């Protein structure tokens, strides 16, 4: 999962997830003014409805019912996410659910319980065991020893069958990932690595408590390629303390020289009221809103010049990468693990804080180790909250997902799929779109389709906000998309 922010934290338009339309200075000036005009916090839409709607009325019994429903689709593929929360130290920018400890026995105990949860859920899924996307996230999955990696993967294979062409990925920290770990992972069948970099500038690294050298990162990338990993991803964050356009440009050039297949450039979400450790960051060292736009514009310009394609909101990929091909074909998908080319109707989350997406419902595990252990000892799923989607949620989820991933919605096909009159059902939304995004050049309404423009990439989350029923209900007093100045 992205390391820059927790799920669905409201993010201002001035912490954008996509770049200006071009490197043209006049266009950037227009876009910046529009950003100021339309600045409004909104979700990132890693899910719809967002995690803000999750509630504790959805618990283990509800999850069991949805697992039973999913089990009936025997031949449908699955996505698996395993959350490995442990880190040796805490990065000051981190927005993930992590446990910082050097006590290795804590992780050993956790893996025992994780194996038990995997077995419980697999039993509930019956004969449905085929996996097309399999991801270890964290935390730092490379916190585990090679032996622990082998044992955990063997436990997964005891219960599930991973397709030969499945995406088998994990997140690694180059500072703590060894050659032996990489060799073990490749031997187990992992084929994609996501490397946390964030920024290579010394001043920025000291400010966020993550000192990481270029040489060690480059060596890890080179070794991964030598071992045959099919795809290497690098994660960057813009908006960190002490970042300047010049320093971030140097980081981009260094990353381009490493030639990763994919790059994710996330906007830093400063949420110290949610992540208390972010209070260690000096607010006066954070870039201004205008500077953040310049940082991302610089990154986009340099990645495009180096031959990368802009993908979705905040990713770049080489033209022959699966993400770029899926974007060309309009088949890009997105879940809690990020953009994917291996969609599955159900995502199963394992481990503390993990979120599943099962048979029309989201289910999130408890974030506390003690509660997690107690639930498994009692023979029940460690789910503490979730949300079951109704028919309207399913429709709006499709609309938002298509716009977020493929920047286009086939309204005619959507009407047929959900048996609605699109223009009548979304009359209010279409009126707001015309008054705002269409008038300002973010969106084009074509016969049978909505299409996000190049400029509109920067505002795609806010276009989607217009279709968010739950957000509308919370903001009943004002339009979802309104000018603030």
pLDDT the model gives residue 28: 60
pLDDT the model gives residue 248: 97
**Percent share of the chain, pLDDT over 90:** 70
Strands 130-138 and 78-84, by their bridges, are parallel
pLDDT the model gives residue 359: 98
Phi, psi values for residue 394, rounded to 5°: -60, -45
Beta carbons within 10 angstroms of residue 350's beta carbon: 21
Structure tokens given for 222: 């080179």
Question: Is 385:54 a contact under the CB 8 Å cutoff?
Answer: yes
pLDDT the model gives residue 134: 97
pLDDT the model gives residue 2: 38
The pTM is what? Answer: 0.90
Phi, psi values for residue 125, rounded to 5°: -85, -5
Report angle CA 192, 196, 198 to the nearest 5 degrees.
Answer: 140
pLDDT the model gives residue 297: 85
Distance CA 67, CA 458 (A): 37
pLDDT one-digit tens code per residue, 279-329: 788 999 999 888 888 898 899 899 999 999 988 778 999 999 999 999 888
Stretches where the chain sits below pLDDT 70 are 1-32, 35-41, 477-485
**Percent share of the chain, pLDDT over 70:** 90
Phi, psi values for residue 140, rounded to 5°: -130, 95
Provide the Cα torsion 415, 420, 423, 425; round to 10°: -130
Q: Which run of H or E residues covers position 25?
A: helix 25-38
pLDDT the model gives residue 39: 62
Among 377, 348, 382, 343, residue whose Cα is nearest residue 365: 382
pLDDT the model gives residue 259: 97
pLDDT one-digit tens code per residue, 54-98: 999 999 999 999 999 999 999 999 999 999 999 988 888 888 888
**Alpha-carbon distances, residue 450 vs 155, 262, 310, 414, 434 (angstroms):** 45, 27, 20, 11, 11
pLDDT the model gives residue 25: 59
Phi, psi values for residue 177, rounded to 5°: -95, 125
Residue position matching structure tokens 């966020």: 208
């Amino acid at each position: 999962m992205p390391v820059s922010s927790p799920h669905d934290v409201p993010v201002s338009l001035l912490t954008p997830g996509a770049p200006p339309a071009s490197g043209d200075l006049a266009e950037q000036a227009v876009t910046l003014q529009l950003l100021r005009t339309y600045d409004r916090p909104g979700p990132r839409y890693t899910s719809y409805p967002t995690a803000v709607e999750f509630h504790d009325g959805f618990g283990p019994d509800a999850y069991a019912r949805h697992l039973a429903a999913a089990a009936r689709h025997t031949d449908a593929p699955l996505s698996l996410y395993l959350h490995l929360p442990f880190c040796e130290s805490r990065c000051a920018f981190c927005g993930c659910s992590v446990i910082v400890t050097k006590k290795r026995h804590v992780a050993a105990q956790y893996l025992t319980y994780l194996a038990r949860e995997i077995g419980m859920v697999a039993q509930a899924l019956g004969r449905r065991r085929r996996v097309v996307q399999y991801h270890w996230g964290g935390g730092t999955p490379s916190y585990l020893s090679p032996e622990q990696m082998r044992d955990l993967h063997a436990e997964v294979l005891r219960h599930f069958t991973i397709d030969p062409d499945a995406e088998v990925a994990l997140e690694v920290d180059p500072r703590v990932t060894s050659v032996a770990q990489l060799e073990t992972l490749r031997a187990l069948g992992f084929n994609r690595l996501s490397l946390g970099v964030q920024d290579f500038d010394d001043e920025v690294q000291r400010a966020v408590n993550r000192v990481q050298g270029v040489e060690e990162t480059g060596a890890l990338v080179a070794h991964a390629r030598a071992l045959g990993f099919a795809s290497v991803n690098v994660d960057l964050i813009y908006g960190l303390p002490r970042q300047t356009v010049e320093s971030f440009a140097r980081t981009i050039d260094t990353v381009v020289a490493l030639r990763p297949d994919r790059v994710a450039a996330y906007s830093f979400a400063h949420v110290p009221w949610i992540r208390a450790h972010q209070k260690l960051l000096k607010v006066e060292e954070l870039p201004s809103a205008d500077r953040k736009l310049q940082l991302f514009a610089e990154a986009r310009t340099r990645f495009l010049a180096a031959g990368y394609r802009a993908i979705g909101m905040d990713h770049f990929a080489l033209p022959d990468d699966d993400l770029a091909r899926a974007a060309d074909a309009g088949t890009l998908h997105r879940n809690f693990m990020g953009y994917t080319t291996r969609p599955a109707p159900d995502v199963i989350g394992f481990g503390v804080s993990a979120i599943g997406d099962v048979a029309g419902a989201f289910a999130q595990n408890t974030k506390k180790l003690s509660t997690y252990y107690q639930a498994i000892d009692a023979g029940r799923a460690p789910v503490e909250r979730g949300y079951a989607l109704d028919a309207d949620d399913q429709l709006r989820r499709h609309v938002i997902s298509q716009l977020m991933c493929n920047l286009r919605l086939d309204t005619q096909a959507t009407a047929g799929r959900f048996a609605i009159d699109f223009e009548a059902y979304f009359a209010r939304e279409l009126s707001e779109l015309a008054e705002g995004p269409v008038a300002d050049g973010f969106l084009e309404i074509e016969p049978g389709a909505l299409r996000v423009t190049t400029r509109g990439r920067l505002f795609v989350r806010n276009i989607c906000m217009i279709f968010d029923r739950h957000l509308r209900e919370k903001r009943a007093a004002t339009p979802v998309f309104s000018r603030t100045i």
